[in-house]
Amino acid sequence: QVQVVESGGGLVQAGGSLRLSCATSGRTFSSYVMGWFRQAPGKEREFVVGINRSGIRTSYADSVKGRFAISRDNGKGTVYLQMNSLTPEDTAVYYCAADARPFPGMRTYEYDYWGQGTQVTVSS
């Protein structure tokens, strides 16, 4: 059974920064592509960013390009999401997802393993 655990959410003022972390257990971390999604109240879960197994390839949603950065440390078994210049529109529950496919997808159905989510609230 693969477990995905996020951490690092919280409350921040607009313009501030947060860093989310996510770790998996079960299989070797480097065998997973990783993705971050978010879901705001009353909205569908949406793709934020994905990263391939080695960390070389990344893909960002247009809404976060230039503000968010994903990275992974396969030695530590952790993926990070650095979020800068946060706005109230970034308020959501952020979910980390993992899958054994070779390339990170942008659709929720492309990930088999999900964390419980971590709340990010940006105040104006």
Write down the mean pLDDT value for the chain: 96
d(CA 63, CA 5) in angstroms, rounded, equals 24
> Span 39-68, mean pLDDT?
97
- pLDDT attached to residue 18: 98
> Span 30-40, mean pLDDT?
96
Query: Which neighbouring-strand residues pair with 121?
Result: 11
Residue 27 has pLDDT above 90, yes or no: no
- pLDDT attached to residue 7: 95
Tokens of 104: 């990170």
Residue 7 burial (C-beta neighbours within 10 Å; 0-12, 13-18, 19+) = middle
CB 43 within 8 A of CB 52: no
DSSP 62: T
DSSP 53: S
Tokens of 17: 């920064």
- Residue 2 — pLDDT band, cuts 50, 70, 90? confident
Residue 45 has pLDDT above 80, yes or no: yes
- Residue 70 — pLDDT band, cuts 50, 70, 90? very high
Question: To 10 degrees, the CA torsion angle through 56, 61, 63, 65?
Answer: 10
SS3 13: strand
